[in-house]
């Protein structure tokens, strides 16, 4: 038999083998036993294919006993599409592969109009390679989570001390009653229940009304990456219950960089940006703190995009990273440029300095001072590079733009020097402004005003530090820096610098801001081949069929006050006003305030709780989040404050697994796994507008309530809301666009409306046939939703579920720019940033990124507190290609990625008398430590260590022993292997009480570049 026919016979089974592991989808050891003799002489013991193609007629038929369906992957947060096949008899997933309609799985996704059966057929035979739709190894292994031997499916109540690992199973209704009503629940005295805790008429922090009501005594952390479910969760917490303390991972997962990058074009609080190269036309790219395909966006799409770009447009790229990762080492045309950890900002400043010195910037682009001039010149954006800023400290508007009205001119527009006339002019009226201005002008009253153009201010900052100092800071030679700056600017706009969340240093905000600035200097934003910001997705809560985010009688965020993590303006606080009233300087504030990045910092909320500043929480909910594992440097005081029932009365974990955080809770409410839930989520790494969607492909494994409904997060919160009569739940809880009121009693009530909102935002959805419904699994998926939707909504939701999402292929370019983007004013100087005042120093934030080596919240340099002699190495971490923070529960992931190592340069190791295989201890200046095994080679920058995250689960996911109903359940030692780095990371010695080390500007958590020592364990 020839190969083509062989593939055709096997159907998709042979066409979608993303990784070898994809072929071994067996849950238990017994099932893994290989039958002898083989089941088939051709396919041996491979699974029967999901369908067969008749070689003569071309007709395809499904394999009896199997069903196929679309879902979205949650092996990591990239949310690629999935095609799933399930054994009807056992209700078990047999195997996963990619969704051929989804860009993340298939670089050339099929048009949504292609019928599902036809789409499946195109996965076979000659067309199979072109239409190949893959998942990565981690995504394929994620099925293991459904029937994982340590999954929690029953309701648990602690049977010993909190965190002791002893549990009893209890009926769901008992847990509900106890959590809501409280009582002497553990034989340790009275515990306040939720009913008692939600006191809307009392202040959370008496005497400090800015912190809102005592309903804020409920703190919660949650998973923010699952749109339908996280929108449900936050609706309950913010709008119905009324707490402002809703924490998520962003602040310890790179928010500062995305917020900083956005400042290249928007004001603070107006969004976060995430850049990608325009892979189709990019000629040069700098990847900071990562390399393409290793972390960040979907590994599926990045691998393909990189491969195509290096072949089709001869992309050159560099990975500026403390660690050599797989892509630049695998002959992909990339180059590894080792950099000292946490020194990305001086690297970017060095490039900027060289660009200014050599005039390698795009002068015409930068000089375009208004939108009309941009249009005339064929530009998408204009910039404020030539706009003049008042630089006179005695001027009441020091640091703000000079306005025409300041000079007695008619408008309030910014002022520039006209390049043509050399005279001052209204920025809106000239074609080109002068880029470098340092002058003194007379204002309307005849008073002298010192001014500088935005670009002059930026240039002065870049030139303030010498190239040799930048080289010293980064560990990259001056010659190499020059070569990179030249390469970066030698491709016109077809070049960009981008970063991942990997470079979370104490000035990560400035790092992000500088990447935006460098892309502005060469005119790369939204340019063909430049820095791309793709199209996003439709979020159901934003749709208008049902008013999902409005709660009649509920709360707006503004009404809830400031969070315990002080994410707001210090100047509005009682502390500030009291100090002022006493004639004292209000600065420094007692504790950090996060003004530029109010992102729901879960770690800082818990730090506030540990310090009882401004108050302690009385209840803690944790849904699918693991803050104590994920947030670097969370101090032992925080852990103790979560463990001690006297400091925290009640805690509830809602999850599939006991993780490091939920294992500290009083109750565990079992939750749905990723393959048991409805989904409509953003895809990280997709260039098309769209989302991946899915429906439960197997029945939930969780226990049922008395009414026969599976217990899950939504069931639990709906029941709590009904018991407490919270607004927004129950009868007539949601308003429809046509004026009807609909109920919110069940999970399906929410999912139906959410998916309707999402689907009705989509254009040109396909007509769905009965055959589509059957082949895609949409028939089964729609059953619980049908009677909750109108006919129009039903058709739209079915269309979305029948294709596993919505993928809109808009035309890619409009002229020299990416299509679908409005022109903006790119900001060299961001005036709005200067409205914010640092709560310690009392100084306004500068309007440009500035280079100031690492310092603590009080402004002291790290060197003042951390001895370089005692802690001579710099620390960095990275994301494993295989592991995610929770993928240890995917059995096969743990099998083929069993442990991590402490990587160190071989010469550095020799200096310290260390060698590969040594058991070592990493200790930070705060005294915290973690242990691991050393590996040495040349793939780590000298003077540093690098350790992967996602390992060392000694207190979660079954890596530790637990006792349930008196029965000892042994630890699975493979899950506890490796090094968990976060507990070792240092705190801020200039803060009092429990503290985190923060990005100076935003208050997000910092971890990279900190000083550590590595010692051999005897
Ligand atoms: S990149 Fe993430 S979402 Fe995509 S297939 Fe892999 S694990 Fe799943």
pLDDT digits 0-9 by tens, 721-746: 999 999 999 999 999 999 999 999 99
Spatial neighbors of 842 by CB under 8 A, at least 6 apart, are: 585, 586, 587, 588
Domain definitions of the chain by residue range = 156-253+541-672, 255-362+476-533, 862-1016
Which of 77, 95, 136 has the most ligand 1 atoms within 8 A of CB, as the residue to mutate? Answer: 136
34 pLDDT band (50/70/90 cuts)? low
Coil vs helix vs strand at 19: coil
- Mean pLDDT score, 750-774: 96
Q: So what's the pLDDT on residue 301?
A: 82
- 77 C-alpha to ligand 1 centroid (Å): 7
The number of residues in the chain equals: 1018
Residue 184: pLDDT over 70: yes
Q: So what's the pLDDT on residue 217?
A: 98
Q: So what's the pLDDT on residue 513?
A: 96
Phi, psi of 952 (to 5 degrees): 70, 40
- 692 C-alpha to ligand 1 centroid (Å): 12
Helices (H) and strands (E) in the chain, counts: 31, 42
Going by CA atoms, what residue is nearest to atom 1 of ligand 1?
A: 298
- Mean pLDDT score, 752-780: 96
- Mean pLDDT score, 844-852: 96
Q: So what's the pLDDT on residue 1?
A: 35
Spatial neighbors of 570 by CB under 8 A, at least 6 apart, are: 576, 586, 589, 593, 595, 837, 839
Locate 6 and state its tokens: 């062989």
4 pLDDT band (50/70/90 cuts)? very low
- 221 C-alpha to ligand 1 centroid (Å): 23
Q: What percent of the chain has pLDDT over 90?
A: 78
Q: Contact, 836 vs 823, CB < 8 A?
A: no
Distance CA 829, CA 435 (A): 12
Distance CA 889, CA 895 (A): 10
Q: Please state the separation of Cα 195 from the chain's center in Å.
A: 34
Residues with a CB atom less than 6 Å from ligand 1:
73, 75-76, 78-80, 135-136, 138-139, 298-300
- 75 C-alpha to ligand 1 centroid (Å): 5
Q: So what's the pLDDT on residue 310?
A: 85
Going by CA atoms, what residue is nearest to atom 8 of ligand 1?
A: 139
Q: So what's the pLDDT on residue 22?
A: 25
What pLDDT, in 10s, does the model give residues 363-417?
999 999 999 999 999 999 999 999 999 999 999 999 999 999 999 999 999 999 9
Which of 76, 143, 890 has the most ligand 1 atoms within 8 A of CB, as the residue to mutate? Answer: 76
Q: So what's the pLDDT on residue 884?
A: 81
Which overall architecture, per CATH, does domain 156-253+541-672 show? 3-Layer(aba) Sandwich (3.40)
Q: What percent of the chain has pLDDT over 70?
A: 96
Q: So what's the pLDDT on residue 894?
A: 87
Q: 862-1016: what fold? A: Barwin-like endoglucanases (2.40.40)
Locate 166 and state its tokens: 């002893």
What number does the ligand 1 atom closest to the CA of 104 have? 4
What pLDDT, in 10s, does the model give residues 63-96?
999 999 999 999 888 899 999 999 999 999 999 9
- Mean pLDDT score, 21-28: 31
- Mean pLDDT score, 293-306: 79
What CATH class does 255-362+476-533 carry? alpha beta
What pLDDT, in 10s, does the model give residues 652-689?
999 999 999 999 999 999 999 999 999 999 988 888 88
Q: So what's the pLDDT on residue 264?
A: 92
- 625 C-alpha to ligand 1 centroid (Å): 18
What number does the ligand 1 atom closest to the CA of 135 have? 5
Q: What is the mean pLDDT of the chain?
A: 92
Residue 38: pLDDT over 80: no
Q: So what's the pLDDT on residue 292?
A: 81
Residue 295: pLDDT over 90: no
2 pLDDT band (50/70/90 cuts)? very low
Distance CA 506, CA 187 (A): 45
Locate 975 and state its tokens: 């899950």
302 pLDDT band (50/70/90 cuts)? confident
Going by CA atoms, what residue is nearest to atom 2 of ligand 1?
A: 76
- Long-range contact list for 112-118, CB < 8 A, 24+ apart? 112/764, 112/765, 112/766, 112/799, 112/803, 112/806, 112/807, 113/766, 115/769, 115/771, 115/772, 116/771, 116/772, 116/775, 116/776, 116/802, 116/803, 117/60, 117/771, 117/772, 117/775
Q: What pTM was computed for the model?
A: 0.94
Distance CA 687, CA 677 (A): 25
Please, what is the end-to-end C-alpha distance for the chain in angstroms? 61
Coil vs helix vs strand at 791: helix
- Mean pLDDT score, 830-846: 96
272 pLDDT band (50/70/90 cuts)? confident
15 pLDDT band (50/70/90 cuts)? very low
Residue 331: pLDDT over 80: no
3 pLDDT band (50/70/90 cuts)? very low
* Triad 326, 331, 335: Cα angle to 5°: 75
Phi, psi of 931 (to 5 degrees): -115, 155
Coil vs helix vs strand at 485: helix
What number does the ligand 1 atom closest to the CA of 142 have? 7
H or E stretch including 575? helix 574-581
What pLDDT, in 10s, does the model give residues 143-153?
999 999 999 99
Residue 29: pLDDT over 70: no
């Amino acid at each position: 038999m020839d190969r083509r026919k062989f593939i055709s016979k096997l159907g998709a089974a042979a066409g979608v083998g993303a990784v070898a592991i994809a072929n071994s989808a067996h849950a238990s050891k017994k099932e893994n036993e290989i039958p002898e003799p083989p089941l088939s002489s051709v396919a041996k013991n491979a699974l029967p294919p999901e369908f067969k193609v008749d070689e003569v007629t071309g007709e395809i038929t499904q394999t009896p006993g199997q069903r196929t369906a679309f879902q979205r992957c949650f092996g990591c947060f990239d949310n690629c599409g999935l095609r799933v096949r399930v054994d009807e008899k056992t209700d078990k997933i047999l195997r996963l592969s990619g969704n051929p309609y989804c860009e993340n799985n298939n670089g050339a996704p099929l048009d949504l109009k292609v019928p599902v059966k036809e789409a499946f057929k195109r996965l076979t035979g000659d067309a199979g390679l072109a239409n190949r739709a893959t998942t990565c190894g981690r995504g394929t292994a994620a099925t293991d989570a459904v029937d994982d031997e340590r999954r929690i499916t029953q309701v648990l109540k602690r049977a010993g001390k909190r965190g002791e690992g002893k549990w009893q199973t209890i009926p769901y209704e008992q847990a509900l009653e106890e959590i809501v009503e409280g009582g002497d629940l553990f034989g340790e005295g009275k515990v306040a229940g939720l009913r008692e805790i939600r006191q809307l008429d009392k202040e959370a922090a008496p005497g400090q009304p800015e912190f809102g009501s005592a309903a804020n005594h409920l703190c919660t952390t949650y998973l923010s990456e699952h749109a339908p479910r996280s929108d449900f969760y936050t609706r309950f917490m913010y709008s119905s219950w009324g707490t402002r303390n809703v924490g998520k991972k962003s602040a310890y997962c790179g928010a500062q960089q995305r917020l900083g990058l956005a400042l290249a074009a928007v004001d603070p609080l107006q969004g976060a940006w995430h850049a990608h190269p325009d892979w189709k036309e990019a000629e040069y790219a700098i990847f900071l703190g990562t390399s393409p395909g290793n972390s960040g966006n979907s590994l599926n799409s990045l691998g393909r995009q990189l491969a195509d770009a290096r072949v089709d447009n001869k992309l050159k790229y560099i990975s500026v990273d403390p660690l050599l990762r797989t892509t630049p080492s695998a002959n992909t045309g990339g180059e590894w440029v080792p950099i000292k950890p946490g020194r990305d900002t001086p690297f970017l400043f060095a490039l900027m300095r060289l660009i200014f010195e050599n005039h390698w910037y795009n002068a015409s682009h930068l000089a375009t001072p208004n939108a009309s001039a941009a249009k005339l010149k064929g530009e998408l954006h204009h910039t404020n590079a030539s706009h003049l800023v008042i630089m006179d400290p005695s001027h009441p508007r020091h640091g703000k733009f000079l306005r025409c009205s300041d000079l007695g001119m008619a408008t309030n527009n910014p002022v520039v020097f006209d390049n043509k006339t050399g005279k001052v002019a209204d920025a809106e009226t000239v074609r080109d402004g002068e880029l470098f201005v340092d002058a003194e002008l007379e204002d309307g009253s005849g008073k002298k005003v010192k001014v500088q153009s935005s670009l002059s201010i930026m240039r002065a900052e870049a030139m303030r530090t010498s190239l040799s100092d930048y080289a010293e800071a980064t560990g990259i030679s001056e010659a190499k820096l020059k070569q990179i700056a030249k390469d970066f600017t030698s491709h016109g706009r077809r070049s960009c610098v981008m970063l991942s969340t990997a470079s979370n240093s104490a000035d990560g905000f400035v790092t992000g801001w500088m990447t935006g600035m460098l892309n502005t200097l060469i005119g790369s934003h939204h340019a063909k081949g430049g820095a791309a910001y793709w199209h996003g997705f439709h979020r159901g809560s934003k749709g208008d069929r049902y008013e999902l985010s409005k709660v009649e009688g509920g709360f707006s965020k503004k009404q809830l006050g400031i969070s315990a993590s002080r994410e707001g303006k210090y100047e509005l606080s009682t502390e500030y006003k009291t100090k002022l009233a006493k004639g004292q300087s209000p600065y420094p504030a007692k504790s950090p305030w996060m003004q530029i990045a109010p992102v729901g910092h879960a770690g800082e909320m818990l730090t506030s709780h540990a310090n009882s500043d401004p108050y302690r929480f009385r209840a803690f909910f944790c849904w699918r989040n693991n803050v104590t594992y994920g947030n670097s440097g969370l101090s032992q005081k925080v852990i103790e404050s979560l463990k001690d029932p006297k400091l925290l009365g009640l805690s509830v974990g809602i999850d599939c697994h006991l993780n490091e955080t939920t294992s500290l809770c009083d109750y565990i409410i079992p939750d749905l796994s990723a393959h048991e839930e409805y989904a409509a989520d953003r895809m990280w790494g997709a260039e098309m507008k769209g989302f991946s969607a899915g429906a439960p492909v197997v029945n939930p494994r969780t226990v049922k309530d008395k009414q026969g409904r599976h217990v899950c997060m939504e069931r639990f919160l709906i029941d709590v809301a009904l018991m407490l009569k919270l607004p927004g739940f129950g009868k007539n809880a949601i308003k429809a666009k046509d004026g009807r009121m609909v109920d919110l009693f069940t999970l399906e009530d929410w999912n139906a409306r959410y998916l309707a909102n999402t689907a009705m935002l989509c254009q040109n959805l396909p007509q769905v046939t009965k055959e589509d419904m059957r082949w895609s699994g949409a028939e089964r998926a729609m059953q619980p939703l049908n009677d909750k939707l109108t006919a129009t909504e039903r058709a739209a939701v079915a269309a979305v579920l029948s294709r596993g999402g919505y993928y809109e292929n808009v035309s890619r370019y409009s002229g020299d720019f990416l299509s679908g983007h409005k022109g903006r004013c790119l900001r060299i100087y961001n005036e709005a940033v200067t409205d914010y005042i640092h709560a310690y120093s009392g100084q306004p934030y500068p309007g440009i990124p500035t280079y100031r080596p690492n310092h603590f919240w009080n402004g002291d340099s790290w060197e003042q507190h951390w001895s370089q002699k005692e802690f001579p190495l710099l620390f960095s971490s990275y994301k494993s290609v295989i592991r995610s923070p929770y993928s240890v529960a995917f059995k096969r992931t743990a099998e083929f990625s069993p442990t991590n190592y402490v990587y160190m340069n071989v010469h550095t190791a020799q200096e310290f008398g260390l060698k590969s295989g040594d058991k070592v201890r990493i200790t930070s200046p705060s005294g915290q430590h973690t242990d691991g095994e050393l590996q040495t080679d040349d793939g780590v920058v000298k003077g540093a260590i690098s350790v992967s995250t996602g390992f060392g689960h000694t207190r979660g996911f079954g890596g530790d022993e637990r006792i349930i109903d008196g029965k000892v359940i042994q630890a699975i030692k493979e899950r506890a292997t490796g090094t968990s780095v976060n507990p070792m990371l240092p705190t801020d010695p200039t803060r009092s009480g429990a503290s985190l080390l923060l990005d100076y500007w935003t208050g997000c958590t910092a971890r990279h570049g900190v000083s550590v020592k590595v010692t051999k364990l005897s």
